[in-house]
Amino acid sequence: MEFMDQLRAPLYEALLQFKAKKPYSFHVPGHKNGMILPYKELEVYQSLLSIDLTELTGLDDLHDPSGIIQDAQQLAAAYYGAKHTYFLVGGSTLGNLTMILSSCNEGDTVLVQRNCHKSVINGLTLAKVKPVFITPQIDKESRVATGITVDMVKAAFAKYPDAKALIITNPNYYGMTMNLTAVIEAAHDYEIPVLVDEAHGAHFGVGEPFPASAVSQGADLVVQSAHKTLPAMTMASYLHFNSKLLNRGRVETFLNVLQSSSPSYPIMASLDAARAYLAKLTNDDLLEIDSDIQSFRSALNQQLSHIKVIEKGKSYTFLDPLKITIQSQCTLTGFEMQRILERQGIYTELADSHNVLMIMPLARFKDGSIIIEKIKHAFEKIPLGMSEQKQGSVPFELEPFTEIEIPHHKMDNYEVTFILLKDAENTISAQDVIPYPPGIPVIINGERINKHHIQLCRELIEAGARFQGDAENGITRIKVVNTPH
């Protein structure tokens, strides 16, 4: 495909042309091209609703594309180097469900990186497979879970030669990447397809200083949240197919099942426009974007003694420039830092006990000095020096591979009960226990709880970790399968 062609956004342009006709709507949606506003202050909706259209003549059909949607998808495939790209209007959640359902059959053994998104777990449950979880590495400085190594993957294939798929999450939430090429090559040596949740890496592949996408590294299926780092609407994602091992028809079958039969045109068109935006970024643009971010990182480090910026660690291969993780060097937890920044109008992506994650724009960033001043102001009355809690670091060690005793889809057949965590040894957990950091489950739903799990939870609580899940029962009590006495 020609470079000039990549500057087009055929789907988005067709919607604008349709709008320019000032058509009369006797069709859905009920807002009639934005003529009917449900609420008096709804002007914020009006202009977009003029392109919130449906499968009218000339506007193609996501579920059977042959016109502008096909054209837009083909441009995206060419840009990323995929055999085929599908536009998703239900987010990467929908992409992960589709990847798993279309690659696995009921009862299959599937290898899964343990620090995966909940939609991966939900996909495994829907597909009724037998997951084997691979424990990732932990980054010492940020204390977050990163990726898995090629040695781990090879050991997994040796131990589970009948595995039908390998499911990877790369990069992690904090922008840390693994040696994906080697992992994929190892899997392909065993003819095992690799499904990559690249939700946080839709901008990967745009060029230096950003890393390559999993698509160009040989992954079979890759899902990307365009809305996370590209200028696309929330729920806009890409699913790339690039496999010699998998059946594309089956992917399309599940997309037809799971995607709305009335997909949102503004979301689809934002996928088209976001790809055109990437195509238009020159090397100089990327260097300028990177330079702005590096200046901001330096200023954060040099001008603010309350925080330090996390630099690239050894347990991963690359740190995405768009992610800046700042770690508390004062008495505040990450959660408290996040709240204090919000009072200054600064909204960040994520906090854990120690860190706050900021996501930078894939565009020039000129507000650095304003932001630095606001952060200074936010922290001015906070004492320096870490609390005792934050100084502790727990050696987070789990067995390399974990099988679960009761697959998630069979959990409905069991009675469950809440017991004290300290009494839970040798019971089967009926919930995940996920501390932040590192954001990787200590215990997985369906896994048998051992003495080490309980000890690790205790140490993590003492080190200040927070636990996702049931707020009331938290981590003093845990939901387990009720076994008869």
Within residues 202-241, the interface with its own copies by CB under 8 A covers 202-203, 225-235
Task: Report the DSSP beta bridge partners of residue 330.
Answer: 384
Residue 136 to residue 112: CA distance in whole angstroms = 10
Tell me whether residue 342 or residue 399 sits nearer to its own copies (CB atom).
Answer: 342
Q: Which of 208, 284, 345, 381 binds its own copies (CB under 8 A)?
A: 345
Task: Report the DSSP beta bridge partners of residue 362.
Answer: none
Least gap, CB of 46 to its own copies (angstroms): 8
Site string for its own copies, 95-114 (x = CB under 8 A): --x-----------------
Least gap, CB of 154 to its own copies (angstroms): 32
Residues 44 to 83 in contact with its own copies, rule: CB under 8 A = 44-54, 56-57
Least gap, CB of 416 to its own copies (angstroms): 12
Least gap, CB of 388 to its own copies (angstroms): 27
Tell me whether residue 137 or residue 224 sits nearer to its own copies (CB atom).
Answer: 224
Buried b (16+ CB within 10 A) or exposed e, 242-258: bbeebeeeebbebbeeb
Residue 392 to residue 399: CA distance in whole angstroms = 22
Contact segment (CB under 8 A) with its own copies among 160-168, 262-270, 381-389, 430-438 equals 262-270
Least gap, CB of 48 to its own copies (angstroms): 4
Tell me whether residue 295 or residue 455 sits nearer to its own copies (CB atom).
Answer: 295
Residue 485 to residue 473: CA distance in whole angstroms = 23
Residues 146 to 205 in contact with its own copies, rule: CB under 8 A = 202-203
Strands 221-225 and 194-197, sheet pairing: parallel
Contact segment (CB under 8 A) with its own copies among 8-16, 189-197, 393-401, 435-443 equals 8-16
Least gap, CB of 16 to its own copies (angstroms): 6
Residues 113 to 132 in contact with its own copies, rule: CB under 8 A = 117-119, 122, 125-126
Residue 430 in contact with its own copies, rule: CB under 8 A? no
Distances (CA, A) of 232 to 61, 91, 283, 350: 20, 11, 21, 20
Tell me whether residue 197 or residue 220 sits nearer to its own copies (CB atom).
Answer: 197
Burial class (CB in 10 A: 0-12, 13-18, 19+), 420: exposed
Residue 71 to residue 67: CA distance in whole angstroms = 6
Least gap, CB of 8 to its own copies (angstroms): 10
CB 259 within 8 A of CB 239: no
Q: What angle do CA 227, 297, 143 make, to 5 degrees?
A: 75
Tell me whether residue 41 or residue 388 sits nearer to its own copies (CB atom).
Answer: 41
Of 344, 349, 352, nearest to 370 by C-alpha is 344
Site string for its own copies, 363-402 (x = CB under 8 A): x---x---x--x----------------------------
CB 116 within 8 A of CB 92: no
Contact segment (CB under 8 A) with its own copies among 107-115, 346-354, 416-424, 439-447 equals 346-354
Residue 450 to residue 180: CA distance in whole angstroms = 32
State both tokens at 233. Answer: 């609407």
Q: Which of 2, 3, 4, 30 binds its own copies (CB under 8 A)?
A: 30
Distances (CA, A) of 75 to 16, 294, 308: 19, 32, 41
Tell me whether residue 152 or residue 371 sits nearer to its own copies (CB atom).
Answer: 371
State both tokens at 20. Answer: 């320019």
Least gap, CB of 452 to its own copies (angstroms): 30
State both tokens at 250. Answer: 């089956």
How many Cα atoms occupy the beta-carbon half-sphere of 438 within 13 Å?
Answer: 31
Least gap, CB of 6 to its own copies (angstroms): 12
Residue 267 in contact with its own copies, rule: CB under 8 A? yes
CB 53 within 8 A of CB 15: yes
Residues 299 to 338 in contact with its own copies, rule: CB under 8 A = 324, 338
Least gap, CB of 425 to its own copies (angstroms): 28
CB 395 within 8 A of CB 445: no
Q: Which of 5, 6, 29, 290 binds its own copies (CB under 8 A)?
A: 29
Q: Which of 2, 4, 41, 366 binds its own copies (CB under 8 A)?
A: 41
Amino acid letter, residue 481:
V
Tell me whether residue 221 or residue 371 sits nearer to its own copies (CB atom).
Answer: 371
Tell me whether residue 370 or residue 420 sits nearer to its own copies (CB atom).
Answer: 370
Query: CB-based contacts of 480: which residues, under 8 Å, 6+ apart?
Result: 416, 417, 418, 419, 424, 427, 428, 429, 430, 449
Q: How many CB atoms lie within 10 A of CB 437?
A: 24
Site string for its own copies, 77-96 (x = CB under 8 A): ------------xxxxxx--
Residue 259 in contact with its own copies, rule: CB under 8 A? yes
